[in-house]
Amino acid sequence: MEPHDGPELCFPLLLNTSCRKPAPPWSEAVFLNLLLFSVSLLTVTLNLLIIISISCFRQLHTPTNILLLSLAVSDFLVGLLVMPGEMLRKTSCWFLSDLMCSLYSCVSYILTSASIGDMVLISVDRYVAICDPLNYQTTITVPRVKGCAFLCWFCSVLYSGVLLKDDLIHPGRHNTCYGQCVVVINYVAGAVDLVFTFTVPVTVMIVLHLRVFVVTVSQARAMNSHIATVTLQHSVTLTSRKSELKAARTLGVLVLVFLICFCPYYCVSLAGENLLSASSLSCVLYLFLFNSCLNPVIYALFYPWFRRAVKIIVTLQILQPGSCEANIL
């Protein structure tokens, strides 16, 4: 039998309408698949630990942690659905249907919008906690935060559905051949998306955290200057304020990492994808997705309660009666 010298097609039987298979070097394709699979697995595992920890242990049912739980859910789904989808798109042909391609893109937009919304809510929560601590307990309650998180997800679903309505109604309309998964957003919709999912949220987060940073520095200086004269009756208040300041710093790191991972993606979207090579575009996209893996790593580094909760979960102590009432703070 003579060797086949033509291009390797995604669907050989459709010679005129089948896409050509992506043909990266074998070693590069294997490395990329292993890397994406490892990051995807790590993202799913770490965020699942966050979800179990906050859901199970009653001490963690605080407004701030409810928002972290919502963020962990979106990150978990990114690792479970979006990362494997990107691995399929970048290193192989799209063997699923055109409808699945449109649904995949819609899910990606929903999770991105929900993550950004959660980050804005976290910034608002820390702003109120640091800048208006006397009204925090009455203003930021668990039921209200749950309602805000639910509204964030609802708006993300609605927004993504409207943005990708044409592709959901006519899936595959932008594909030029079989084996391709392409979703195109027109210029007006892209500009609106850039404003509502990047410019406005990032501006809000930066302004709030700058304000929190200024107040945090002033309060830290005040506590350091008076720590020698603090009496016993004020020790509990002092400890509480230190805890709030530490939480603000931790969530500030969370927002900073978020901006580092998301800004290149949206800057490329604003400037135009034609300015970068295919490999550079892939690196920007992977950095964008890698944020979902970094968030729980930040929790592990800065939150002792997360490390204690993971120890209880991994050692299966969580299966014991009354484990949800354990003191992990």
* Residue in 259, 245, 181 with CA at minimum distance from that of residue 217: 245
Q: Specify the range with the lowest mean pLDDT, choosing from 37-46, 203-212, 264-273.
A: 264-273
Q: Which of 150, 154, 260 is nearest to 205 (CA)?
A: 260
* Highest-confidence segment of 41-50, 274-283, 306-315: 41-50
Res 9 pLDDT > 90: no
Euclidean distance between CA atoms 241 and 97, whole angstroms: 54
Phi, psi of 178 (to 5 degrees): -75, 135
DSSP symbols for 197-257: IIIHHHHHHHHHHHHHHHHHHHHHHHHHHHGGG--GGGHHHHHHHHHHHHHHHHHHHHHHH
pTM metric for this prediction: 0.85
**Where does the pLDDT of residue 243 fall: very low under 50, low under 70, confident under 90, or very high at 90 and above?**
low
CB 289 within 8 A of CB 82: yes
- Tell me the pLDDT of the chain averaged across its residues: 81
Among 3-7, 35-39, 73-77, the least confident range: 3-7
* Count of alpha carbons within 13 angstroms of residue 89, beta-carbon side: 21
User: What type of residue sits at position 183?
Assistant: V
* CA dist., res. 283 & res. 67, Å (int): 29
**Can you list the domains of the chain with their CATH numbers?**
51-221+242-325 (1.20.1070.10)
Q: What is the pLDDT of residue 221?
A: 67
Residue 224: per-residue pLDDT: 62
pLDDT for 276 equals: 63
pLDDT score of 231: 47
What pLDDT was estimated at residue 1?
Answer: 39
Give the pLDDT band (50/70/90) at residue 187: confident
pLDDT in tens, 74-130: 999 999 999 988 888 877 888 888 899 999 999 999 998 999 999 899 889 988 988
Query: What pLDDT score was predicted for residue 272?
Result: 63
More confident residue, 177 or 147: 147
What's the N-to-C CA distance of the chain in angstroms? 70
Q: What is the mean pLDDT of residues 186-196?
A: 82
pLDDT at 106: 93
Q: Can you tell me the mean pLDDT for 57-69?
A: 90
